[in-house]
């Protein structure tokens, strides 16, 4: 019988040393590096400057937590996979980051101290067995006025070939996790406000394009830039699934 919780717990042990090295190298080792860097930039724009306490739930090997700690935040990362947390701790020790801590744990269980300024799910909530409990515990981990930031999947994620393959190969959860659904979970948990935002790479890739190098003249280059700006405006008003959500306690 399929046990997704067991699959999540054993994931990093299953992908082995090479897979863990790849995960530790993110975002630069990822084929969507530019998208990941844009997401990180968006997160930094949303966060208040340090000092602040951040909890990352489902942190994996902690590459995002490390970015946040390097910025000066006090960061605590939690993941269910012991091998992932072991790799995260080793990398944090090598970097000499006393403001970065990791724990093995299930984010669907009771959270640690309820005094975090931010809770982040970065591609992790759709692996939950009970996402309602996960969001509730994120709410409980926040101080009054704190915020939860979630970069998650869309409403078609579970049906994608890569998701189906991951379930077959590793036995993990691969759920649809759209922003409106997360907003509803947040409302039930007690969050008072939410905002759904466009992921920045959608806009950036419209404005900054390799095709500029093919422009035969300065006039043509300016025309191509004008078209790019029109694409940005279209993206701002179009309903795209590739979004993320911020919820405030």
pLDDT recorded at residue 236: 67
User: Is pLDDT at 195 greater than 70 in this prediction?
Assistant: yes
pLDDT recorded at residue 223: 84
Question: Rounded mean pLDDT of the chain?
Answer: 91
Backbone φ and ψ for 199, nearest 5 degrees, come out as -65, 135
Give the confidence band of 214 by pLDDT, cuts at 50, 70, 90. Answer: confident
Give the confidence band of 112 by pLDDT, cuts at 50, 70, 90. Answer: low
**In the chain, % of residues over pLDDT 90:** 68
Instruction: Quick: pLDDT tens for 154-187.
Output: 888 888 888 888 888 888 989 999 999 999 999 9
Q: What is this structure's pTM?
A: 0.90
pLDDT recorded at residue 201: 84
CATH of domain 4-248: 3.40.50.150
Average pLDDT over residues 144-163: 90
């Amino acid at each position: 019988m399929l046990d997704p919780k067991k699959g999540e717990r054993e994931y990093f042990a299953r992908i082995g040393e090479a897979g863990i090295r790849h995960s530790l190298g993110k975002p630069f080792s990822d084929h969507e590096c530019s998208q990941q860097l844009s997401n990180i930039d968006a997160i930094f724009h949303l966060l208040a400057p340090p000092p602040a306490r951040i909890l990352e739930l489902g942190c994996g090997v902690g590459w995002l937590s490390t970015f946040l700690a390097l910025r000066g935040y006090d960061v605590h990362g939690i993941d269910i996979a012991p091998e992932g947390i072991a790799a995260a701790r080793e990398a944090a020790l090598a970097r000499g980051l006393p403001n970065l801590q990791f724990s093995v744990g299930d984010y669907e269980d009771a959270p640690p101290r309820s005094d975090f300024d931010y809770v982040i799910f970065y591609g992790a909530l759709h692996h939950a067995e009970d996402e309602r409990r996960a969001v509730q515990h994120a709410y409980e981990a926040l101080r009054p006025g704190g915020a939860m930031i979630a970069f998650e999947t869309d409403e078609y994620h579970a049906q994608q070939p890569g998701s189906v393959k991951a379930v077959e190969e590793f036995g993990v959860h691969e759920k649809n996790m759209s922003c409106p659904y997360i907003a509803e979970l947040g409302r039930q948990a007690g969050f008072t406000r939410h905002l759904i935002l466009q992921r920045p790479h959608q806009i950036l890739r419209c404005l900054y394009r390799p095709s500029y190098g093919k422009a035969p003249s300065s006039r043509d280059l300016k025309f191509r830039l004008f078209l790019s700006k029109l694409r940005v405006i279209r993206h701002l008003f179009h309903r795209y699934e590739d979004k993320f959500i911020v919820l405030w306690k």
